[in-house]
Amino acid sequence: MKSARRLAKRAFRRRERRFLAEGPQAVREALRIPGGLAELFTTAEAESRHHDLVVAAERAGAPVLRVSGEVMAELAQTVTPQGLLAVCEFVDVPLADALRNRPPLVTVLAHVRDPGNAGTVLRTADAAGSDSVVFTDASVDPYNGKCVRASAGSLFHLPVVVGPRFGDLIPELKNAGLTVLAADGAGERTLDAAIDDGVLARPTAWVFGNEAWGLPDEILEHVDEVVRVPIYGRAESLNLATAAAVCLYASARAQRGG
């Protein structure tokens, strides 16, 4: 229990290469990865409600530790724990592995600090068919509890790369045949124009930045193009996850010829 509790801190997660995933959806997706689930904590009520998951964890060879509601409340990172908490092995892959097969769509999070936003973008990237998601060294830890919860299991679905410097990342993306587009309000070309001009039909890496202050100049200077999502109404801007959804689905549609 002490070992599991320590995984709430990034330093311990890095050292152990393990993280916490709470709730039945996260447990179900972790079980789909051989060896992905290391331990499972459950309350009696949750075990009764999700008996299939507990049995699956036992069959996978993961120790199942039955604890009281009070202990679960200490371990969980939510106000209302769901009664199932998994200790999972890290799932990230090297950048070279993620780019080896020259993927058509990659999502890059640069300077994204809010874990809820990052997890939601990860979930959105999964839904839009992105081949991988890259968290640069200036972004939040994808194994942060709030990020894991916001991803709704998508953390276990597609290759995730953690920690490359953006300056080192750009040449690797371009060498993999990807056009690197930054989504930013400062872009001269609109998303509509990028669609009409056939830009999004190419293999693309979309770069998304901090919701509050966007992408820094040192990033904007090194991408192939800066694209802005047009605002037709009076809203000041779109939030990060919404902008990412619009851009990624536009690329998915263009690449599929629809």
DSSP 159: -
What sections of 189-239 are H helices per DSSP? 191-196, 217-220
- In this prediction, residue 218 carries a pLDDT of 87
Task: List per-block mean pLDDT (blocks of 10 residues) for the chain, which spans 258 residues.
Answer: 93 96 95 95 96 96 94 88 95 97 97 95 98 96 96 96 95 97 93 96 96 84 95 92 97 89
Q: Which of 29, 142, 25, 149 is nearest to 92 (CA)?
A: 142
Q: What is the pTM of this model?
A: 0.94
DSSP H or E stretch at residue 3? helix 2-6
Which tens digit of pLDDT belongs to each residue from 107-131?
Answer: 999 999 999 999 999 999 999 999 9
Q: In the numeric block, which tokens belong to residue 4?
A: 């599991």
- In this prediction, residue 258 carries a pLDDT of 59
- In this prediction, residue 151 carries a pLDDT of 97
Q: Which of 201, 256, 195, 205 is nearest to 230 (CA)?
A: 195
Q: Are strands 204-208 and 105-109 parallel, antiparallel or unpaired?
A: parallel
Question: CA 57, CA 60: separation in Å to the nearest integer?
Answer: 5
